[in-house]
Amino acid sequence: MKTLSLLIPLRLAASAVAQWTSHDIDHLSNDVVKTAGTTCHTIDSYRETEQGKANAHVGLWETFKRNDHQPASWWFSSIEEKPADASRPLAGLKVLDFTRIIAGPVLTRGLAELGASVMRVTSPSVPDASVYHPELNWGKWNTSLDLRNSHEREILRQLIMNCDVLTTSYRPNALDKFGFSANDIFNLCKTRERGIVVVRLNSYGWHGPLQARSGWQQISDAVSCFCLQLCVSVS
């Protein structure tokens, strides 16, 4: 049995792609076909884009405090309440994991490894990358909720009311139509005894013209120059 070389399809694909500019492929992918994709930038070329300029003042994260009348969502009131096991310093922390693919699940897996109780929320209507599941989601609880169903939306509200941290990595505004925007969550929790920490991940950052685009970890790496920089370092 003769195995065909991968160089043949690679050359065919390269020949077809060479007929397009990177701008045209970017437009076709994101605006026409509606699938995630991006131009792979260098450090300097990314800094010159509108997106790069809009996020130049931002580090790896931004933090905002919404009110001062509620105590922190989770912390020890006294030294006697701290976890007995030093290997599980986050024991007692309740995390609702509303993330998919890689970046978000890696974040919440780390919390689970440190002792937090993590409840992962999936949906029967949104395919999940099951190939990543064994590596990224061990140590977590799991529930499947269809947010198109009013009863299951109410279940999610109850889960939110009982968690300390909510993490989400869906596209900006994607959850708004179901009543789960960041403001909706803060309003839901504003009368409870303690506050809530809302962690939102976004592939392109929260500023600039591309902030509403869909994407995942590799997309972020490509647009922000990490991919090319890594290739240069390895070579």
Domain that holds residue 97: 90-194
Residue 166 and residue 231 share a domain: no
Residue 154: count other Cβ atoms within 10 Å of its Cβ.
11
Which pLDDT score is estimated for 233?
66
Tally of domains in the chain: 2
pLDDT band, very low/low/confident/very high, at 75 (cuts 50, 70, 90): confident
* Mutual angle of helices 182-189 and 150-161, in 10-degree steps: 60
Q: Residue 60 — pLDDT band, cuts 50, 70, 90?
A: confident
Asked if residue 96 and residue 189 are part of one domain, the reply reads yes
Q: What is the pLDDT of residues 1-29, one digit of tens each?
A: 455 678 888 899 899 989 999 899 999 99
Structure confidence at residue 234 as a pLDDT band (50, 70, 90): low
Q: Are residues 50 and 136 in the same domain?
A: no
Mean pLDDT computed over 157-176: 94
Q: What is the pLDDT of residues 82-100, one digit of tens each?
A: 777 888 999 999 999 999 8
Where residue 131 sits, what CATH number does that domain have?
3.40.50.10540
pLDDT at 155: 98
In a domain? residue 150: yes
The candidate with the shortest Cα–Cα distance to 98, out of 114, 119, 112, 116, is 119
- At 7, list the tokens: 């160089």
Tell me, yes or no, whether 103 and 185 share the same domain. Answer: yes
CB atoms within 10 A of CB 100: 22
Pick 46 or 76 by higher pLDDT: 46
Residue 105 lies in a domain: yes
Same domain? 160 vs 113:
yes
Residue 136 · residue 102 · CB < 8 Å: yes
Say if residue 190 is in the same domain as residue 210: no
Handedness of CA 48, 229, 24, 32 (dihedral sign): negative
pLDDT in tens, 179-195: 999 999 999 999 998 99
Q: Is residue 139 part of a domain?
A: yes
pLDDT in the model for residue 78: 65
Q: How far is residue 161 from each of residues 2, 4, 86, 158, 185, measured CA to CA in Å?
A: 60, 56, 28, 5, 9
The average pLDDT across 223-228 equals 86
Tell me, what's the pLDDT at 8? 87
Model confidence, pTM: 0.85
User: Who has greater pLDDT, 185 or 229?
Assistant: 185
For residue 38, give Cα distances in angstroms to 54, 200, 213. Answer: 17, 21, 10
Could you report the per-residue pLDDT of 113-157, keeping only the tens digit for each?
999 999 999 999 887 767 888 899 999 999 999 999 999 999 999
The residue among 166 and 217 whose pLDDT is bigger is 166
